[in-house]
Structure 1
Amino acid sequence: MSASAKFSTKVQSDLGSYVYLYIDPRNDKLFYVGKGRANRCFAHLRTDDGSEKAKILRELHATGKKPQIEILRYGLTDDEASLVESCVIDLLDLEKLTNKVRGKHWRRGPRGSVEDIRVTLEARPVTITDPVILINIAQLYRPGMSAPELYDSTRHAWKVNPDRHPAKHALAIHGGIVREVYQIACWFPAGTTYRTNDQHGERRHDADPTRFEFVGHLAEPEIRKRYLHKSVERYFKPGAQNPIKYIKC
């Protein structure tokens, strides 16, 4: 996250007042809690007030690292944000944070990285014109997960019929938004292919003849640009339990 990072005007409007967190990537520890509007969460990247917070930021900069910035709650009033900030500081113990003072004093928008929040609020509806399979990875998704983790969470393992619905691309869906787009090379019985995090080619023990997994790669740029970070929420009925949805197949 660069010092010049900022939210678009639309995202700023949708965020309202929010509470944000600074996390040290060296140990995954929270070291600062703040509240604000617009681009307040990025302001600390450009200032050095001699505080403990600034000291940690200098150390990170010296090693080529950046703090992980997360939005804890958004869509709040100023008073609600002040209350949330104060409660978080009290709960986590002020001495363990770099905040100089306690906050001035529920949930609208869920916690997520600033990039994830940006994607969520900027997502625009898209009309799918290609034969694809939408895969809602639900609880398997988490903000900041690596590309290999997202790939494995998307491709494995689903109750599908590859012969009946020959989709060319798979869209990883979370929260009604396309998180990644893959081109499907081939489907295999679940548990019969190696995952990307297999270090020594160990034999897997999660084979399931009733499910399938695909092997593939990132979609070609044109297709990926068409769907990545777009909203496909309208393709899923409210309360739908099936994580799989075929479009144009």
Structure 2
Amino acid sequence: MTNSFPQLAIEELGYYVYFLRDPRDKKIFYVGKGSGNRIFDHIGCALNDTPSEKLDLIREIQNAGKSVEHFVLRHGLKTESHAFEIEAAAIDLIGFQNLANLQRGHGSTDFGIKSTAEIIAMYSAQQLETNLDVMLFNINKRFNREMTSDEIYQATRYKWLVGQRRNKAKYAIAVYRGITREVYVIQDWVQDGDNLWSFNGYLADEDVRHELQHKSVSNLFLRGAQNPVRYVKC
């Protein structure tokens, strides 16, 4: 098994993006970028007992009498930033949830995979204007692209530090990166600890969602603001 590149190959490779594949089911389990012999370093790290999903899988492959398959996806890249971009695109395409990577690709939050509706919302979203009584919940820290619709609902409804004004709100809106993502009817509130409240609700009607979804509220959530909740018309 090859465990290093010849010096001449290293000099020609430049920065590169690579992936590791499980020989047993041909599934890619790790994407990375680097230079020199970086692609082979993971095998050496697996020799110690450091626990990690990636290293545990490598040890499992080796204990089965197999060898991890190494592939270079792109090479000859002139800058590390170029390698970062390709690495991030590969992670997005394969799906972060399908990999043993500890972090998403560089810049994936702003420039990573998005639906066409999200692209339109990002670059041409109209400012939210409504006469409805709504609460906005910034779920940036709870959000990931692989969330199911129920997981988005749970992230939106669950445990907020809110006061009596909550009782005036009819709709709850999930907000991610300054754009409204989903809209729920608030049925009631339940206390979830000291001064923490969660609402029970359900997905709003299509007409309401059309009015409130994919609108910009960046003017209400200024960069660095600590409070993740905003009231509109309440």
* TM-score, structure 1 as length reference: 0.50
Instruction: Report the counterpart of residue 248 of structure 1 in structure 2.
Output: 233
Partner Cα distance (1:225, 1:238) in 2: 26
Contact 2:135-2:166 at 8 Å conserved across structures: no
- Once the 2 structures are TM-superposed, how far is the Cα of residue 107 of structure 1 from its aligned partner? 4.8
Contact 2:188-2:199 at 8 Å conserved across structures: yes
Offset from partner CA, 1:145-195 (integer Å, 9 cap, x none): 1001000000010111246641000000111111110000000111xxxxx
Aligned residues: 149
Contact 1:162-1:187 at 8 Å conserved across structures: no
Instruction: Report the counterpart of residue 185 of structure 1 in structure 2.
Output: 187
1:132 and 2:117 equivalent? Answer: no
- Once the 2 structures are TM-superposed, how far is the Cα of residue 230 of structure 1 from its aligned partner? 1.4
Contact 2:161-2:197 at 8 Å conserved across structures: yes
Percent identity of the aligned residues? 32
1:114 and 2:99 equivalent? Answer: no
Distance verdict in 2 for CA 1:28–1:133, change over 3 Å = farther
1:227 and 2:229 equivalent? Answer: no
1:213 and 2:198 equivalent? Answer: yes
Partner Cα distance (1:220, 1:165) in 2: 20
Partner Cα distance (1:83, 1:29) in 2: 18
Instruction: Select the structure that is richer in helix.
Output: 2
1:146 and 2:131 equivalent? Answer: no
- Once the 2 structures are TM-superposed, how far is the Cα of residue 28 of structure 1 from its aligned partner? 7.5
1:168 and 2:170 equivalent? Answer: yes
Offset from partner CA, 1:24-72 (integer Å, 9 cap, x none): xx968578x9xxxxxxxxxxxxxxxxxxxxxxxxxxxxxxxxxxxxxxx
Instruction: Give the superposed CA RMSD.
Output: 3.7
- Once the 2 structures are TM-superposed, how far is the Cα of residue 110 of structure 1 from its aligned partner? 2.9
Partner Cα distance (1:128, 1:28) in 2: 46
Offset from partner CA, 1:63-108 (integer Å, 9 cap, x none): xxxxxxxxxxxxxxxx89755456x39xx9xxxxxxxxxxxxx859
Distance verdict in 2 for CA 1:175–1:85, change over 3 Å = closer
Equivalent of 1:236 in 206, 221, 224: 221
Q: Which AA in structure 1 matches 2:202?
A: H
- Structure 2, unmatched stretches of 5+, are 1-25, 34-78, 92-105
Partner Cα distance (1:163, 1:85) in 2: 44
- Structure 1, unmatched stretches of 5+, are 1-25, 34-78, 93-105, 191-207
Contact 1:165-1:246 at 8 Å conserved across structures: no
- Once the 2 structures are TM-superposed, how far is the Cα of residue 229 of structure 1 from its aligned partner? 1.5
Partner Cα distance (1:125, 1:212) in 2: 28
Equivalent of 2:160 in 158, 163, 175: 158
Whose radius of gyration is greater, 1 or 2?
2
Partner Cα distance (1:223, 1:156) in 2: 22
Partner Cα distance (1:226, 1:30) in 2: 41
Q: Which AA in structure 2 matches 1:238?
A: R
- Once the 2 structures are TM-superposed, how far is the Cα of residue 140 of structure 1 from its aligned partner? 0.1
SS in 1 for 2:197: strand
Q: Which AA in structure 1 matches 2:200?
A: V
Instruction: Report the counterpart of residue 65 of structure 1 in structure 2.
Output: none
Partner Cα distance (2:215, 2:128) in 1: 6
SS in 2 for 1:120: helix
Contact 1:137-1:173 at 8 Å conserved across structures: yes
Offset from partner CA, 1:189-238 (integer Å, 9 cap, x none): 11xxxxxxxxxxxxxxxxx1321100000111111101111111112233
SS in 2 for 1:149: helix
Distance verdict in 2 for CA 1:27–1:229, change over 3 Å = farther
